[in-house]
Amino acid sequence: MTQAGQVVFSRMEEVVWGKPAAETVATLAQKRGAERVFLMVSGTLNRTTDEIDKLRRALGNKCVGAFDKMPAHTPRSAVIAATDQAREARADLIVTLGGGSITDGAKAVQLCLANDIRTPEAMDAVRAPNPVKPPTVAQISVPTTLSAGEFSSISGVTDERSKVKELFRHADIVPRAVVLDPAVTRHTPQWLWLSTGIRAVDHCVEGICSNEATPYGDASALHGLSLLARGLPKVKADPQDLAARLDCQLGSWLSMAPLVAGVPMGASHGIGYVLGAVFDIPHGHTSCIMLPSVMRWNKSANGSRQAMVAAAMGQPGGDAGDVLDAFIRGLDMPRSLHEVKVGREHFDRIARQAMSTPWVPRNPRPIPGPEQVKEILELAA
């Protein structure tokens, strides 16, 4: 039978890499005709480095404000605070410089501005399947970590009422441009850089190993995985190695090709959503902990796909779960739930909540209920 499939491309217009961020953003803003640029940036970078000042200077009087108080996991209340500030500034372009929580926050701000959302509770109205007005304020992102959410039209936002991370989706919230400047990432704490690099590895691996994988996604994710496997240890050995940092950034970009093109993620992502929202574990660490265990649990269903992962990481013939385990340990990242103080007494809650995520039901080895999730958690205990 002839193969059949579908690849969906995003509305991102361009990715610029290896050039200074501030000047590149100013050029992109001018090209878009933006006159009122609102910044959403890392508070740490704003307080302790000159990176945000460089951005302000490059934009000149087009910079109309900055929000630098986005916590991890993008809580609704912070999204609303940023939306209020952007609305008051009459922003016509949002520029982010920082990690994934800031990137996701700005994507949610786009929806809130377009739909006049003014309270955290009112954000219910812009969640699928509710009809929403499309964003009118575009976004440009300069990422400082490797989680790669800037390449997606999904925004992950935590509802503080339920401690559940919810997905807000709209094709038009994907940033119109992404600027990959390795120099600005030198300020990123090494644990955060390396752990979000494993998050990108997780994108690659679950995209390759999905039952719905595509040739397009495979090509991008396999090369992205090889770049990350090469670049992350080099940055650990020498944090000033800008070429290795750029390899990691390019690998992170390529890691998102399967997901952006419609390939679902699996149980590592799904369980990770719960660990992040409920226990405040950084998403990079959730991937470090869960991915090898998910691979081992899935091996009976996709061994040939897992062989592709081991080969891309430079160990053809190796067991992918073992290869990933050793790689993550070599970066000195956490490898068990015990290390992040999640005990078996929490497994029932995690397992039940994971079943409600978009990804656990589409794991390559079927997960019919919470008991199978608990089997994976035991492997990661």
Output the DSSP codes for 84-106. HHHHHTT-SEEEEEE-HHHHHHH
Mean pLDDT of 276-290: 94
What pLDDT score was predicted for residue 1? 60
Residue 8 has pLDDT above 90, yes or no: no
Mean pLDDT of 193-203: 98
Per-residue pLDDT band at 52 (split at 50, 70, 90): very high
Residue pair 29/84 in contact (Cβ under 8 Å)? The answer is: no
Mean pLDDT of 353-367: 97
Per-position DSSP letters for 30-47, written without gaps between them: HHHT-SSEEEEE-HHHHH
Mean pLDDT of 107-111: 98
DSSP H/E element including 14: strand 14-17
pTM, rounded to two decimals: 0.95
What pLDDT score was predicted for residue 311? 98
Per-residue pLDDT band at 325 (split at 50, 70, 90): very high
Residue 86 has pLDDT above 70, yes or no: yes
What pLDDT score was predicted for residue 165? 87
CA nearest to 270, candidates 126, 143, 376: 376
User: What topology is assigned to 14-183 in CATH?
Assistant: Rossmann fold (3.40.50)
What pLDDT score was predicted for residue 164? 87
d(CA 97, CA 55): 9
What pLDDT score was predicted for residue 4? 84
What pLDDT score was predicted for residue 179? 98
d(CA 86, CA 67): 8
Q: What are phi and psi of 67, to 5 degrees?
A: -115, 125
What pLDDT score was predicted for residue 313? 98
Residue 177 has pLDDT above 90, yes or no: yes
Q: How far is CA 132 from the centre of its chain?
A: 23
Residue 216 has pLDDT above 80, yes or no: yes
Give residue limits of the domains in the chain: 14-183, 189-380
What pLDDT score was predicted for residue 236? 98
What pLDDT score was predicted for residue 317? 97
Q: How many residues does the chain have?
A: 381
Per-residue pLDDT band at 7 (split at 50, 70, 90): confident
Residue 50 has pLDDT above 80, yes or no: yes
d(CA 98, CA 44): 9
Q: How far apart, in Å, are the Cα atoms of 364 and each of 97, 241, 253?
A: 35, 37, 23
Q: How far apart, in Å, are the Cα atoms of 88 and each of 59, 65, 81?
A: 19, 9, 11
CA nearest to 379, candidates 346, 344, 352: 344
pLDDT in tens, 288-313: 999 999 999 999 999 999 999 999 99
Mean pLDDT of 59-79: 97
| Two tokens, residue 33 | 């005709």
Q: In a 3-state reduction of DSSP, which class is residue 332? A: coil
Query: What CATH code would you report for 189-380?
Result: 1.20.1090.10
Residue pair 141/106 in contact (Cβ under 8 Å)? The answer is: yes
Mean pLDDT of 191-197: 98
Residue 351 has pLDDT above 90, yes or no: yes
Residue pair 38/109 in contact (Cβ under 8 Å)? The answer is: no
Mean pLDDT of all residues belonging to the chain? 97
| 46, burial (CB in 10 Å: exposed 0-12, middle 13-18, buried 19+) | buried
What pLDDT score was predicted for residue 128? 85
What pLDDT score was predicted for residue 6? 84
Residue pair 151/260 in contact (Cβ under 8 Å)? The answer is: yes
